[in-house]
């Protein structure tokens, strides 16, 4: 490692500058709004680097700032990868006057969809679920480790993805991306992660919903417990049925708020009349 920590000699970008982007990337959603979404947050993260790149050209600096105030929206954890690519492309734009600067935002927009898809699957679908599941199992026993286990388990991938995403994005982001997309490996990897995700959800429905029916009848002197019959069909049948009905509503694009209202009405009446519990 060189002593002066210079990453990009031409614009004097140092390791410190990249650490700054890394830390600032955590505030991406800080000024979220419905018009530019994370635009200002994105600009905030890379602005000091832009200043260095355009240190002797105030007009180009202003144009670049406007460029990154444009609407941008992405799952936050992979966003430093895009910031890395962006800084590399801005350096190209500075170096080469014929460089088409519209391609910078084109790349950013092109990455929003796929990276959010991958990011949501991993961070919301898998890392969060596993971290929370382990947190819950400690918390149920009142074990003080629970919140720490949750936070550490989630944030290890969160920090690593951000740090290495930024690094790779800057060094060889655009080439890596096209290669992975051409070979189809990324899609396969996401699919396999999905396998773990849906199996875990299936497992949690069976172990954590626990919806039952306390309903009993007495027909000609013998007591009939409905839940015993349901269990013979399949354990946790009601839990699975409830989940799948709600899932169907979601796929039919019924608003979540209405579904919650429906659950409250059905559940409350079911509870009051002793049908559900």
Partner 1 sequence: MSLIQAILVGVVAALTQFEGGWLGECKLREPVVTGFLVGLILGDVTKGLIIGAELQMMWMGATGIGPTAQLNIGTGGTMGTAIALTTGKGAEIAITFGLPVAVIMQFLGTLLMTAYSGVMHHADKLIDQGKDKQVEYMHYLCGFCDFMMYFSLTFIVMYFGNGAIQGIVDSFPEWANAGMAAVSKILPAMGFALLLNLLLEKDLIPFFILGFIITAYTDLTMVAVTAIAIGIAWIVYLLKSSSMQAKVDEWEE
Question: By CB under 8 A, what part of segment 52-71 binds partner 1?
Answer: 58, 61-62, 65-66, 69
For residue 222, what are the β-bridge partners?
219
Stretch that binds partner 1, among 40-48, 88-96, 101-109, 217-225 (CB under 8 A): 40-48
- Count residues contacting partner 1 (CB under 8 A)? 114
The number of residues in the chain equals 277
Residues 86-105: x where in contact with partner 1 by CB under 8 A, - otherwise, as a string: --------------------
> For partner 1, which residue of 109, 110, 151, 160 counts as binding (CB under 8 A)?
151
Nearer to partner 1, 16 or 62 (CB): 62
Least CB distance from residue 199 to partner 1, whole Å?
Answer: 3
- CB 146 within 8 Å of CB 139: yes
Question: Is 133 one of the binding residues for partner 1 (CB under 8 A)?
Answer: yes
**115 CB contacts (<8 Å, ≥6 apart)?**
74, 75, 78, 79, 81, 82
Toward partner 1, which CB reaches closer, 114 or 270? 270
Applying the rule CB under 8 A, the residues between 152 and 211 that interact with partner 1 are 154-155, 158, 162, 183-185, 188-189, 191-211
Minimum distance, C-beta of residue 62 to partner 1, in the bound complex (Å):
6
Instruction: By CB under 8 A, tell whether 120 contacts partner 1.
Output: yes
Cα separation, 131 vs 12, in Å, equals: 40
- CB 229, min distance to partner 1, A: 16
Q: Is residue 65 packed enough to be buried (19+ CB in 10 Å), middle (13-18) or exposed (0-12)?
A: middle
Contact 18, 6 (CB under 8 A): no
Q: For the chain, list the strands marked E by DSSP.
A: 6-8, 13-14, 216-219, 222-225
């Amino acid at each position: 490692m060189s002593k002066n920590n210079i990453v990009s000699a031409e614009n004097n970008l140092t390791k410190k500058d990249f650490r700054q982007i890394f830390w600032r990337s955590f505030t991406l959603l800080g000024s979220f709004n419905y018009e530019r979404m994370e635009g200002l947050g994105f600009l905030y993260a890379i602005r000091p680097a832009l200043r260095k790149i355009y240190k002797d050209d105030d007009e180009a600096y202003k144009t670049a700032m406007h460029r990154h105030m444009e609407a941008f929206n992405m799952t936050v954890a992979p966003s430093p990868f895009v910031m890395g690519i962006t800084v590399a492309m801005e350096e190209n734009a500075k170096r080469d006057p014929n460089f088409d600067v519209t391609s910078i935002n084109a790349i950013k927009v092109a990455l929003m969809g796929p990276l959010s898809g991958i990011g949501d699957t991993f961070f919301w679908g898998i890392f969060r679920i596993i971290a929370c599941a382990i947190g819950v199992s400690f918390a149920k026993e009142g074990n003080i480790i629970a919140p720490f286990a949750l936070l550490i388990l989630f944030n290890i991938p969160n920090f690593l993805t951000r740090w290495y995403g930024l690094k790779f994005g800057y060094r060889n982001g655009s080439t890596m991306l096209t290669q992975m997309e051409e070979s189809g490996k990324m899609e396969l990897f996401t699919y396999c992660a999905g396998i773990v995700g849906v199996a875990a959800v299936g497992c949690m429905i069976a172990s954590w919903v626990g919806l039952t029916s306390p309903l009993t009848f007495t027909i000609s002197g013998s007591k009939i417990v409905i839940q015993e019959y349901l269990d013979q069909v399949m354990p946790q049948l009601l839990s699975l049925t409830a989940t799948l009905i709600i899932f169907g509503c979601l796929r039919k694009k019924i608003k979540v708020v209405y579904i919650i209202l429906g659950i409250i009405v059905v559940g409350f009446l079911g509870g009051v009349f002793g049908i559900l519990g």
